[in-house]
Chains A and B, each alone.
Chain A
Amino acid sequence: MIEFAHVSKRYPNGQIALRNIDLQIGAGEMAFLTGHSGAGKSTMLKLISLMERPTAGQVIINGKNLNRIKPRKIPAIRRDIGMIFQDHRLLFDRSVFDNVALPLMIAGYDHREIGRRVRAALDKVGLLSKEKSTPIMLSGGEQQRVGIARAVVNKPPLLLADEPTGNLDPELSAEIMRLFEQFNQVGVSLLIASHDLSLLAKMHYRTLVMKDGQLIQDRSDTPQGLDLPPAQLLGADNES
């Protein structure tokens, strides 16, 4: 599903964000990406969603080498990826329903089909009663769940989440993780960037640890077995 082959990324300002990353995540797999702030987690996700291009190496998604994707084809690739952001990225001048409907409208679905799917997705995240609200009227956790509903409404085979529980309380975070697990159970691949170690500790999934742009650990067992103590792993600056 996701393959990184010798991928390096250097930003135009000279900052090297990724160094020679090799990685494979199979279809239907759920994996966490962790590491200190600035380790390169977001950069990994941005390469997958074509927001950035690698300076070297290849990223292959669904068997497609992203280096060979022309700008014109980028939207089609993105439609196969559900993206969840820490800052939600909702449209504040539209209702919750319209926000969630957006990917379906882009894909050209029939409006009855859109209604059905949007309500199913909102029901899944427990926000069916809020479909007419605008995002401003919602709490942070609710906004995050709208973002999740929007990401899954189109049934993409791959979900990417960048700090999806960034500023949520532990209970809400756990709830969102449960949602992710449910999606995973129906065959969706997930890659979740997070430095919420206490949360990861409760989950028993593959965990990729990054440090200074390198993949330093790839543990398929529980994160309790991480070689490094959390403090060192995440670095002292844990602010973002």
Chain B
Amino acid sequence: MNPDQLTGARLTQGASLKARFKMLIRLHKLEAKRGIQDIFDNPLSNFMTVLVIAIALALPTGLQIMLDNGKQLSQSWDGASRISLFLTLETSKKQTIDLSNKIRQNLAIKNVEVILPDQALKDFSQQSGFVDAIGELDQNPLPPTLVVQPVEAYSTPFESGKLLAIYAKLPQVEKAQLDLDWVRKLYALIQLAEKAAAALGLALGLAVLLIIGNTIRLSVQNRRDEIEIVKLIGATNAFIRRPFLYTGFWYGLFAGISCWLLVEISLFWLQQPIANLAGLYQSDFTLSGLSWSQSIQLISISCGLGLLGSWLSVGRHIRAIEPR
């Protein structure tokens, strides 16, 4: 051995900046491995932890998917947004048709259907079965009606609402009514559900932080002796913290992937019943799942939560350990 190797007591040892940087990268690799090792050392209980986190993440994710689909559905039904204009009883057939032509010229309007009182009465008596009762009426009580269908761009609740207001002011119009109030209701419902989903996501995100924080706390306590020893040797808190941060990150990653699998499997499982249901409504609607970017988003959020959870917990618990 080179006798020089151990000579020279030196103060303030350390390496060059470049060596330190290279070492840091190496250390990170080592600690990333050690972080994973930490999880696989105790596979069953850690698998449970991952699963709990995955489920906690799957709930808001699932809700978000439902919302996205609901929005899509409501948009595809906007085409059916219609305005019914009930004209005054005195309006003649010619006036009715003139008005319908006038409205049809508006570029916002796709189609105007004219329902004359006679026709309306006939339809009504056929559909309701009150043929006799209606036959005894000496005057047709039904007004002429125009059913106005806006083009798609004017079918949103807001735009069709504006059209409605315009038509309501026409002198011949007794009453204007937006057929699809329910579109508006659906929108409101979706907005409410979005708020609920955000709140749920926040609450469950917090729960995930707590779960990971607690898991890391236990892992720090399990390594108490080791931490004391490396502190005695002069390790900084940052050095000791790193493998635990990696453990948190791995938890996040595994949980994120598990969550993605859970969601995809559930969607696959729902696909058939939903297609059946849509078939009953003469719709070819299919459930759309997570897009690639959403999947990546999900897993990144999960990793971020894992990192954050361990970061919030590890510093405090490492500081509390002092060598004896």
Contact = CB atoms under 8 A, between A and B. Distances in A.
A106 B6 CA distance: 18
A83 B10 contact: no
Interface in A132-149: none
Interface in B174-202: none
Given A108-B15, A155-B13, A124 B6 contact: yes
Given A107-B13, A124-B1, A89 B8 contact: no
Contact of A108 (B12, B14, B229, B323): B14
Interface in A55-105: 62, 75-81, 83, 89-91, 93, 102-103, 105
A81 B233 CA distance: 8
A180 interface: no
A161 B316 CA distance: 31
A154 interface: yes
B19 A75 contact: no
A117 interface: yes
B232 A79 contact: no
Contacts, number: 111
Given A62-B11, A120-B5, A154-B13, A110 B23 contact: yes
Contacts of A106: 230, 233-236, 239
B313 to A, nearest CB: 20
A158 B236 CA distance: 20
Contacts of B324: 51
A29 B159 CA distance: 91
A107 B22 CA distance: 12
A111 B29 CA distance: 13
Given A90-B229, A109-B23, A189-B9, 16 more contacts: A51-B323, A75-B235, A79-B13, A79-B234, A89-B229, A91-B229, A106-B233, A107-B15, A110-B19, A116-B5, A120-B2, A156-B9, A156-B13, A158-B9, A183-B6, A188-B9
27 contacts: A51-B322, A51-B324, A75-B234, A75-B236, A78-B233, A80-B12, A80-B234, A89-B229, A91-B226, A106-B230, A106-B239, A108-B19, A108-B24, A110-B19, A117-B5, A120-B1, A121-B5, A124-B6, A154-B13, A155-B7, A156-B9, A156-B10, A156-B13, A157-B9, A183-B6, A187-B9, A188-B9
Interface of B: 1-2, 5-15, 19-20, 22-24, 26-27, 226, 228-237, 239, 322-324
